[in-house]
Every structure is written in structure tokens, then in C-alpha cells.
């Protein structure tokens, strides 16, 4: 953990290279129809400049990947995947073509550089670098701009410490964009510190987003539409929502000490869930983690994990 980057995230701006994150282009008449029928959110009416998160799910409602869909123009969308999953998701999308579908899938991961900026000064920094007014841009909306003469696409994303942006550029321009952001005062964010900030914010990653869980258990309610038409896995997800009670849910956990993860959570010797992420928070002066907890154990419940205790709490630990 880098304390300089950690402190900068709270008071300034930090940047992180995310070029391993997949970028899949889908063009053609049925580009939105394709992703709409394979995932949880309503996407058919996305217009250029708009975006939305959605979850690709199996036929039993389990998570394949949490993706962001960006409408680039009237004939093109980008599907932004988790790290190192661009090729896999491109093949998955291309393999779900119906007889009359008109779309083409192309992976762009190696052609597109991706950066993330976080912190309270990330928006003013990008506004100054691009000359654009960015305050009114809603989450998942995006605009084109230039940084130091290099074309970029700015997407407002979920915040960490009140600010969050994804910056896309051509790979050839990546070094120039990074240099400009660095000179503007942003601090380089390493992976370990990003993971700490992620857990403090209550955001799941690949440890929590996999085929063991459904989107509602992962608190991805904003990635699910309950009024759209049919999609793969809809029946299971709709049934769980209509019953109003989940078997388990992603929760925060405050631990008495360090343990190895993943680890089983116990209550009176019986399984109470699983601890999936663990960090030490300097701001909270505690070990904190994320885990799937059986809903019988409400906030305040004290569970056992290894030789430590884990108190169930709501997330985020620190407001984003």
C-alpha cells in the first residue's frame, strides 16, 4: 500500500492504468439487441454519449461478468469488461448470434488505452486538461475531448472518494495522456492501494463477481432492470426479487485481525458465508473486508473467521 497515493485519493486525484480491462466493439443494426438479451439491464434506448452497467448472466442467473456498455455513435457500442476478459467476452457475444441478426464483434483491448481517475480533484483536473465543463455529466455518460492534443473519451464512472472517471485513448497516445495527467498533479495509484480503496467503497471485484453468485446478492441492483423484456437468466433473478429475500448478500466485515482469504465465516460452528476480500484500512484503523453473508446474520452480528472475529456491517465503509 502506498500511503502517498492513499492520502491523495482522499484530498486530490489519483490515476490507475487499466489497459488490461477488455474493450469489445459491437457494430451493426442489432448491436444493442444482442447485449440487451444477454444481460440484466435495459439497453435498447441507449443513445450516443450514454452508457449503462449491466451483468452478463448464465441461464440460471449467475454472474458471467459485470460490463459497461457505451453507445459510441449510431452504429457502434463498446462493451467494457473486467480485466483480462476482453477476448472471452468477445467470443461469448459473437457466439450468440441469431439467424437474422446483423452485428459484428471486434475486440479492441490491445488498441485502446484505459486509465481511471479518482478523488475529489479528478473532475477539476480533467476539466482543466480538456477545457470542458464536466460537472453536469451523469454517471455512465461520456464525451470526447483532447488532452495535450490527444483525442480521448471521458466516461463518468462509480466514484471513489467522490470522483470517478474512465479515460480512453489510442494506445499510441497513452504515454502523452499519462504524462499530462501526472503533470497536472494526479498521483499514480498502485494495485494494492486501489484494492484498499475499492474495499472501503464496498465495490465488488472478480473475487465477488463470478458464477457462484447472482447480481442481486452482489448489490448490483442498479445493473438490473425489472421491467425490460426477456434475457438470459431472467426467471431466476425475477423470482428472487419477487420473494423479497435473498439467501446471502455481499456485506462489509470488520475483523479483529488478519486472516487468509478466501475464508469461511462461521456462526456457532455453522456456515454463515464466505470472506472474499480483506485489507487493512489506515483511515478506519481496522482490518475490513467484503464477503457473502447469509441474510439471517444482520449488521452487528459477530461471526468467526479463522482465529478472528468478524462483525457484519453495511457498505460502504467510507462514503464515495
Q: What is the CA radius of gyration of the chain?
A: 20
Nearest Cα neighbor of 293 from 307, 281, 277 is: 277
β-strand pairing of 14-17 with 187-188 = parallel
Positions of CATH 3.30.70.1400 in the chain: 21-107
Burial of 246 (0-12, 13-18, 19+ CB in 10 A): middle
Query: Residue 134 carries which DSSP code?
Result: -
Nearest Cα neighbor of 197 from 252, 251, 160, 164 is: 160
Q: Selecting from 1.10.10.10, 3.60.15.10, 3.40.47.10, 2.40.30.110, what CATH number does the domain 247-320 have? A: 2.40.30.110
Q: Selecting from 3.30.1360.120, 1.25.40.80, 3.40.50.720, 1.20.1250.20, what CATH number does the domain 3-19+111-201 have? A: 3.30.1360.120
Q: Are 42 and 225 in contact (CB under 8 A)?
A: yes
Positions of CATH 3.30.1360.120 in the chain: 3-19+111-201
Positions of CATH 2.40.30.110 in the chain: 247-320
Report CA torsion sign: 105, 142, 163, 54: negative
* Local confidence pLDDT in tens for the 320 residues of the chain: 899 999 999 999 999 999 999 999 999 999 999 999 999 999 999 999 999 999 999 999 999 999 999 999 999 999 999 999 999 999 999 999 998 999 999 999 999 999 999 999 999 999 999 999 999 999 999 999 999 999 999 999 999 999 999 999 999 999 999 999 999 999 999 999 999 999 999 999 999 999 999 999 999 999 999 999 899 999 999 988 888 879 999 999 999 999 999 999 999 999 999 999 999 999 999 999 999 999 999 999 999 999 999 999 999 999 87
CA–CA distance from 266 to each of 90, 185, 239, 305 (Å)? 39, 46, 28, 6
Task: Return the bridge partners of 79, or none.
Answer: 24, 69
Query: Which stretches of 62-162 are assigned E, i.e. beta strand?
Result: 63-73, 76-83, 104-107, 112-118, 142-147, 150-160
* Residue whose grid cell is 475529489: 120
CATH superfamily for domain 21-107? Aminomethyltransferase beta-barrel domains (3.30.70.1400)
Angle between helices 86-94 and 31-38 (to 10 degrees): 100
* Residue whose grid cell is 498502485: 190
Q: Are 130 and 167 in contact (CB under 8 A)?
A: no
Q: Are 8 and 119 in contact (CB under 8 A)?
A: yes
Amino acid at each position: 500500500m502506498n500511503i502517498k497515493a492513499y492520502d491523495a485519493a482522499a484530498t486530490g486525484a489519483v490515476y490507475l492504468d487499466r489497459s488490461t480491462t477488455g474493450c469489445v466493439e459491437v457494430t451493426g443494426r442489432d448491436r444493442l439487441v444482442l447485449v440487451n438479451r444477454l444481460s440484466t439491464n435495459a439497453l435498447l434506448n441507449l443513445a450516443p454519449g450514454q452508457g449503462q452497467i449491466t451483468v452478463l448472466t448464465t441461464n440460471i442467473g449467475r454472474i458471467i461478468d459485470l460490463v459497461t456498455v457505451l453507445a459510441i455513435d449510431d452504429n457502434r457500442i463498446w462493451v467494457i469488461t473486467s480485466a483480462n476478459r476482453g477476448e472471452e467476452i468477445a467470443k461469448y457475444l459473437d457466439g450468440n448470434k441469431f439467424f437474422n441478426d446483423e452485428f459484428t464483434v471486434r475486440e479492441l483491448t490491445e488498441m485502446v488505452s484505459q486509465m481511471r481517475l479518482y478523488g475529489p480533484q479528478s473532475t477539476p483536473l480533467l476539466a482543466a486538461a480538456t477545457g470542458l465543463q464536466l460537472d453536469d455529466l451523469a454517471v455512465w455518460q461520456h464525451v470526447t475531448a483532447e488532452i495535450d492534443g490527444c483525442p480521448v473519451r471521458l466516461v463518468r464512472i462509480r466514484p471513489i472518494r467522490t470522483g470517478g472517471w474512465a479515460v480512453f485513448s489510442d494506445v499510441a497516445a497513452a504515454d502523452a495522456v499519462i504524462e499530462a495527467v501526472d503533470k497536472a498533479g494526479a498521483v499514480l495509484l498502485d494495485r494494492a492501494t486501489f484494492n484498499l480503496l475499492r474495499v472501503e467503497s464496498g465495490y465488488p471485484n472478480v473475487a465477488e463477481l463470478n458464477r457462484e453468485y447472482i447480481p442481486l446478492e452482489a448489490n448490483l441492483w442498479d445493473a438490473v432492470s425489472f421491467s425490460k423484456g426477456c434475457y438470459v437468466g431472467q426467471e431466476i433473478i425475477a423470482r428472487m426479487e419477487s420473494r423479497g429475500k435473498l439467501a446471502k448478500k455481499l456485506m462489509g466485515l470488520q475483523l479483529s485481525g488478519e486472516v487468509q482469504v478466501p475464508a469461511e465465516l462461521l456462526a456457532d460452528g455453522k456456515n454463515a458465508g464466505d470472506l472474499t476480500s480483506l485489507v487493512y484500512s489506515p483511515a478506519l484503523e481496522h482490518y475490513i473486508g467484503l464477503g457473502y453473508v447469509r441474510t439471517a446474520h444482520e449488521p452487528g452480528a459477530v461471526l468467526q473467521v479463522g482465529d478472528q472475529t468478524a462483525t457484519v456491517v453495511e457498505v460502504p465503509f467510507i462514503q464515495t
